[in-house]
């Protein structure tokens, strides 16, 4: 590919300077340009009004600059800054990027200096992903416009991930417009004293994600139970109802790990809105409720908003210190106001109510709703409010990261033996470091909306955010299915949504207008019940695989829901595919998103196995797959080693001392089984174990390598039931068949198949 500045090729070889300082400053005609190398492949570009350098609040970036060897040269007034990974060209106020081989990556379009906008020149064959999570059904943002403002169902992230192997994070948390046109790709923000962005080069998609995590923070582990099935609805009216739902799941033998209590446990008077206290007569003994749930081996999550009614104690405590924002919020006309999460005093008051009324009785997860925050009606003067970190106008889109971050940091300090588990409706770059699962908001129950969830999830993941989920069945049913669970047509949509949710970060049933518990859809033996039970059980069978992938997210910057471009970047068929994805690096998931019981699937190059019947297929082509209501197209990559766990009623019911190992032949492969205590942060101190397994396809030998690490309660001896997948063995929910039964005590073991 042609270099940006061909005349500079010689000067790049004849270096005129070398420095270990990572920051270079330039005086342009209309601004001062500062280029900072945080590493050899991560660069910050900031442009200040001439002579007026300043720094504003930036909640995303946590990376400390590394010591970087940067070679500097100058030719015809253009400066070249070169590392082992990048070349950065500075021509006046214009900055451009190439890789170390001279291939063009990104170039600013020359323009008059502006502190709030910048246009970039892209390549014709370049695909753009990211921008957060949106409901337009778009995968590739080339030629599109997006208004980046946090609202319900729209997560605003001024960050793009390019198919050319880089990401650009426009570091401005005010409301911003993205526009890609013939003029170029433009970020234009509503406010800002200077322009500021980060260029992250990874070479490939995984490298970009790794760079983004280095820049904005690593994702911690969630508790094991959070990867199981979670039941919710809007809403349970009494504590007896909460306990009864869990008890019915246990009586039916359908796995469940968590139940969620939605709003109004504080009562129905909106003046007492979100008291963060159990005030409703339906919850006379919340501590007793929690004891009953513990006896049933279930966890609880509870809805908590960032807004409070004027009669609540928390409102009065915040108001006394001037820590409430002035704008109207839901529910309107009752004096409800949001707190100022940018203020550390407000965050501390917020957490103290959560701790004393919720954490102290054993509630394990926080559903931090409406972290956009809710803001309606909007008045222009609302944005003039001065938060602890600038005007609301300046920091608008960063509300979710500072609000969830306050809860995360406080729980780590005060309840260090329990992993933080936050479910929230909005996000901002860097929020992954605060133990947050993000869901897609109050979406409607339609086939079209279900289909749109897939590109929404994948673009969110390509922003470096590893955990996403959606309300199984859609939140609102009144529009398309007014009879809700009594409508057989809704049953089918709900089942298909659940099948998709099986292969997301969290498998969670929730919504309004109609109940969603499995027993509402009929009895065992009916189609909708059996299909749900099958996929809930499948989720639990795959927990060893999912948990190991979660550890890869934490330890290796991995991505759970992977757009196909991450694994097949050279495949010209892949960039715009928006209805299938990889779950980890082994499973190709193709959710059924229409009422039809058949769908087309693109299988990338390689050999694939149908998960349900063990039939091998060659990739590099499209295939048609019949999809009875209890199946979706699900394929496993040749060379995969997949652990299949035991039959359980909750995630921690049985350890993984006796599991099936499925070998999918046709290529070499490997897998690392990961385990820890399932909760707490001992894993950060080395209290964990890893068992690496490698498959030699030519020799048909599985090598189980020596176990590394240990933790309290770790199974010392294990039974691995090893099976070579074929049509008659190792398919579907089978977790018992085997060709070889191997006893493993931590030493190297070789198994010939």
Catalytic residue list: 369, 372, 442
Classify strands 229-231 and 507-509 as parallel, antiparallel or unpaired: parallel
What number of other Cβ atoms are within 10 A of residue 66's Cβ? Answer: 12
Decide: residue 111, CB within 10 A, 0-12 exposed, 13-18 middle, 19+ buried: middle
Closest CA to 464 of 206, 226, 220, 146: 206
Locate all alpha helices (DSSP H) within 190-266, ordered by sequence: 205-216, 239-252
Block residue for tokens 């963060």: 276
Q: Is 280 left (phi over 0), alpha (psi -120 to 50) or beta?
A: beta
Whole-number Å distance between alpha carbons of 205 and 580: 17
What's the start-to-end Cα distance of the chain, in Å?
48
Q: What are phi and psi of 557, to 5 degrees?
A: 60, 35
Beta sheet of 701-704, edge-to-edge order: 669-675, 689-696, 701-704, 749-752
Give Cα separations from 459 to 438, 465, 482, 684 (angstroms).
13, 9, 31, 29
Residue 615 CB contacts under 8 Å (≥ 6 apart), including other chains:
609, 727
Q: Show the CA angle centred on residue 671, arms to residues 665 and 676, nearest 5°.
A: 150
Q: For residue 120, what are its two tokens?
A: 């970039």
Whole-number Å distance between alpha carbons of 421 and 423: 7
Q: What are phi and psi of 537, to 5 degrees?
A: -65, -35
What number of other Cβ atoms are within 10 A of residue 571's Cβ? Answer: 16
Whole-number Å distance between alpha carbons of 723 and 753: 8
SS3 437: strand
Query: What does the radius of gyration of the chain's CA atoms come to, in whole angstroms?
Result: 26
What number of other Cβ atoms are within 10 A of residue 613's Cβ? Answer: 12
């Amino acid at each position: 590919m042609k270099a940006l500045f061909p005349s500079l090729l010689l000067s790049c070889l004849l270096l005129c300077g070398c420095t270990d300082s990572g920051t270079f400053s330039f005086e342009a005609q209309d601004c001062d340009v500062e280029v900072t190398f945080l590493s050899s492949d991560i660069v910050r570009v900031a442009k200040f009004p001439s002579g007026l350098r300043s720094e504003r609040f930036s909640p995303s970036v946590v990376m400390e600059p590394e010591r970087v060897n940067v070679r500097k040269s100058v030719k015809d007034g253009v400066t070249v800054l070169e590392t082992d990974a990048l070349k950065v060209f500075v021509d006046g106020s214009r900055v451009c990027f190439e890789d170390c081989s001279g291939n063009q990556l990104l170039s600013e379009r020359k323009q008059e200096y502006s502190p709030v906008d910048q246009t970039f020149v892209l390549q014709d064959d370049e695909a753009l992903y990211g921008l957060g999570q949106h409901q337009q059904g778009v995968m590739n943002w080339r030629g599109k416009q997006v208004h980046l403002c946090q609202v319900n169902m729209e997560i605003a992230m001024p960050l793009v991930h390019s198919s050319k192997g880089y990401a650009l994070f426009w570091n401005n948390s005010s409301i911003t417009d993205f526009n890609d046109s013939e003029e170029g790709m433009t970020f234009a923000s509503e406010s800002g004293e200077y322009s500021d962005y980060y260029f992250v080069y990874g070479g490939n998609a995984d490298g970009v994600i790794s760079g983004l995590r280095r820049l904005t923070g690593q994702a911690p582990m969630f508790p094991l139970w959070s990867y199981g099935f979670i039941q919710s609805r809007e809403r349970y009216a009494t504590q007896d109802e909460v306990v009864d739902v869990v008890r019915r799941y246990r009586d039916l033998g359908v796995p469940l790990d968590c139940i969620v209590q939605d709003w109004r446990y504080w009562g129905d008077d909106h003046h007492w809105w979100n008291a963060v206290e159990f005030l409703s007569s339906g919850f006379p003994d919340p501590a007793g409720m929690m004891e009953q749930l513990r006896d049933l081996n279930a966890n609880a999550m509870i809805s908590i908003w960032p807004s409070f009614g004027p009669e609540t104690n928390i409102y009065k405590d915040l108001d006394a210190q001037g820590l409430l924002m002035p704008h109207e919020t839901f529910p309107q006309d009752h004096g409800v106001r949001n707190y100022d999460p940018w203020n550390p005093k407000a965050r501390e008051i917020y957490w103290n109510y959560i701790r004393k009324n919720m954490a102290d009785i054993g509630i394990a997860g926080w559903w931090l709703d409406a972290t956009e925050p809710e803001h309606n009606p909007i008045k222009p003067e609302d944005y003039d409010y001065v938060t602890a970190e600038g005007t609301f106008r300046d920091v608008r889109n960063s509300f979710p990261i500072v609000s969830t971050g306050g809860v995360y940091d406080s729980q780590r300090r005060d309840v260090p033996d329990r992993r933080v588990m936050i479910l929230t409706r909005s996000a901002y770059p860097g929020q992954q470091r605060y133990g947050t699962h993000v869901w897609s908001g109050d979406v409607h129950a339609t086939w079209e909306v279900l289909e749109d969830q897939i590109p929404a999830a994948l673009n969110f993941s390509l922003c470096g955010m590893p955990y996403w989920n959606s309300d199984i069945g859609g939140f609102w049913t009144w529009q398309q299915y007014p009879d809700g669970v009594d409508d057989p047509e809704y049953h089918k949509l709900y089942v298909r949504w659940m099948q998709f949710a099986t292969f997301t970060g969290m498998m969670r049933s929730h919504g309004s207008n109609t109940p969603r518990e499995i027993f509402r859809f009929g009895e065992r033996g009916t189609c909708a019940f059996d299909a749900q039970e099958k996929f809930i059980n499948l989720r639990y069978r795959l927990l060893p695989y999912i948990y190991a992938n979660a550890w890869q997210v934490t330890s290796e910057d991995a991505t759970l829901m992977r757009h196909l471009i991450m694994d097949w970047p050279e495949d010209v068929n892949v960039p715009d595919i928006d209805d299938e994805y990889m779950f980890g690096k082994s499973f190709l998931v193709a959710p059924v998103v229409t009422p039809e019981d058949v769908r087309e699937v693109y299988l990338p190059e390689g050999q694939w196995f149908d998960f349900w019947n063990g039939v091998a297929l060659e990739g590099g082509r499209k295939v048609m797959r019949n999809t009875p209501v209890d199946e979706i197209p699900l394929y496993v990559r040749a060379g995969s080693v997949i652990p299949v766990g035991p039959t359980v009623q909750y995630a921690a019911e049985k350890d993984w001392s006796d599991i099936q190992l499925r070998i999918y032949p046709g290529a070499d492969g490997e897998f690392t089984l990961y385990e820890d205590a399932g909760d707490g942060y001992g894993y950060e101190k080395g209290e964990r174990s890893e068992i690496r397994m490698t498959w030699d396809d030519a020799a048909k030998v599985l090598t189980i390598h020596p176990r590394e690490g240990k933790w309290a309660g770790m199974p010392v001896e294990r039974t691995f039931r090893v099976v070579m997948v074929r049509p008659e063995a190792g398919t579907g929910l089978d977790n018992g068949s085997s060709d070889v039964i191997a006893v493993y005590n931590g030493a190297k073991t070789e198994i010939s198949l």
